[in-house]
Amino acid sequence: MTTLAVLGGEPVRKELYPVWPVFDERDFEAVAQTIRSRRWGGFPYPGPNTAAFAEKFSEMQGGGYAVPMINGTITMEVALRAAGIGWGDEVIVPAYTFQATAAAPIAAGALPVLVDIHPDNYCADPARIEAAITEKTKAIIVVHLAAQMTDMDAIMDIANQYNLIVIEDSAHAHGAQWRGMGSGTIGDFGSFSLQSSKILTTGEGGVLLCKDKKMAERAASIIDCGRAKDEAGQQFTMGVNYRWSELHAALGLVALERFPEQLAQREGMADYLEESLSEVPGISLLKRDLRHTRRSFYRYVFKIDPGFFHCDHDVFCHALENEGIPVDTGYPPMHQYDLFQPKLSKLAVPMAYPEYFNFEDMCFPVVEKASKEESVWMGESVFRSGEKGVDDLIRGLNKLIANRSELARLAQDKEKEPGY
């Protein structure tokens, strides 16, 4: 039995996994051309690169009017504001996601109401969403998390029944499809991040896909200092400058050219991984829903059985990372983010509604289990390193299995060290 790398042994993989983002001569050329054009910024909106990107992006997702802007948080705030949602309104949000999904309703003046996730896919549980609806509920933001998609059939049924706006936070789901429909094109809005870790990236950036043309005009007005965008040129809104720059859009046009091949590669390697991973003891896969017809991989998430490994996922991930495999434990529970604590955050909404931000009263058992015990988030770079990269992950897992008694010891050490 070989010694775990975390205890001083040789790591399973010494070679680094491929870096992200990738670039080639086309990126230099696109940026150089934009510099020469002197159209660097986003004014007047949209510039030629931004307009071309918007057209190609909605074509790739298979629908919607695309409004590019500065990031994938503002996109959600703008969607809410375009739909007239704000003070006094409630917006349902899963309690397992990046803080942006709940920060956006707060920024729009609305109240994010957190709900638990489904253990099969770690996305918002439709039954929990329905149970959280009140007469103040105006919208649902679902998050297509990591490589999963929320059950959009159930979500759209609920939204139609209660007359709610649906925003799909697709920051992790560029290119994904649900029954052949692109993520972000099923609800009223799709929100995409182009931030540097994302699988379609321009460093910073975001795209809001709108089902309705009027909403797209309103969104474009909000991000362009309120300038009218309707045909008559009369529909002004309260807006500020959230425009995307032409330099970012230049990178986006090249990123779109590369994207289909990258998507196919990750998809192919995920199938290869799952063949082996499903056989590894102590590991279980999230459910593969056949209505999720095209999978897109920002991260690949699986579960460990802490009883089998004699440790929770933090010790497990630390040991596996030391073996050279890019994994982490994912998001903490949303209600434990400092941002949402009225005492730590001076944001108006948490201050105004302290009862909604009372952590003691909040309980999301599935989120707690995922974020504190069992979820393992694997970097997409494993899929970009071919079969060898995936095989190394499996070898790393088998090494941890052979060293479970050492993991138990590390878990005990952790108990003695609160700051682990």
Ligand X SMILES: Cc1ncc(COP(=O)(O)O)c(C=O)c1O
* Nearest distance in Å: CB 204, ligand X: 7
* Nearest distance in Å: CB 205, ligand X: 7
Q: Quick one: CA torsion of 99, 291, 383, 331, rounded to 10 degrees?
A: 20
Q: Is the C-alpha dihedral spanning 76, 54, 258, 293 positive or negative?
A: positive
Task: Check if the beta carbon of residue 57 is closer than 8 Å to that of residue 253.
Answer: no
Strand ranges for 307-370 from DSSP E:
327-328
Phi, psi of 17, deg, nearest 5: -75, 160
Minimum CB distance to ligand X smaller for 101 or for 385:
101
Minimum CB distance to ligand X smaller for 188 or for 406:
188
* Nearest distance in Å: CB 234, ligand X: 31
* Nearest distance in Å: CB 229, ligand X: 22
Minimum CB distance to ligand X smaller for 102 or for 273:
102
Strand ranges for 240-320 from DSSP E:
283-285, 299-304
Give me the residues that bind ligand X (CB under 6 A), please.
71-73, 97-98, 100-101, 143, 169, 171-172, 193, 195, 206
* Nearest distance in Å: CB 105, ligand X: 12
User: H helices of 133-245, where?
Assistant: 152-162, 213-223
Distance CA 290, CA 307 (A): 30
Minimum CB distance to ligand X smaller for 72 or for 396:
72
* Nearest distance in Å: CB 415, ligand X: 31
Read off the tokens for 74.
């503002």
* Nearest distance in Å: CB 72, ligand X: 3
Minimum CB distance to ligand X smaller for 244 or for 309:
244
Query: CB atoms < 10 A from the CB of 232, how many?
Result: 6
Read off the tokens for 104.
């956006």
Distance CA 305, CA 156 (A): 33
Read off the tokens for 412.
């005990």
Can you say whether residue 331 is alpha, beta or left, with left for phi > 0 and alpha for psi between -120 and 50 degrees? beta
Distance CA 72, CA 392 (A): 33
* Nearest distance in Å: CB 92, ligand X: 15
Minimum CB distance to ligand X smaller for 97 or for 245:
97
* Nearest distance in Å: CB 36, ligand X: 28
Can you say whether residue 194 is alpha, beta or left, with left for phi > 0 and alpha for psi between -120 and 50 degrees? alpha
Minimum CB distance to ligand X smaller for 98 or for 178:
98
Minimum CB distance to ligand X smaller for 61 or for 193:
193
Read off the tokens for 118.
């489904």
Task: List, in order, residues 6 or more apart from 373 with CB less than 8 Å away.
Answer: 306, 312, 313
Minimum CB distance to ligand X smaller for 85 or for 167:
167
Task: Check if the beta carbon of residue 248 is closer than 8 Å to that of residue 204.
Answer: yes
Residue type, 97: T
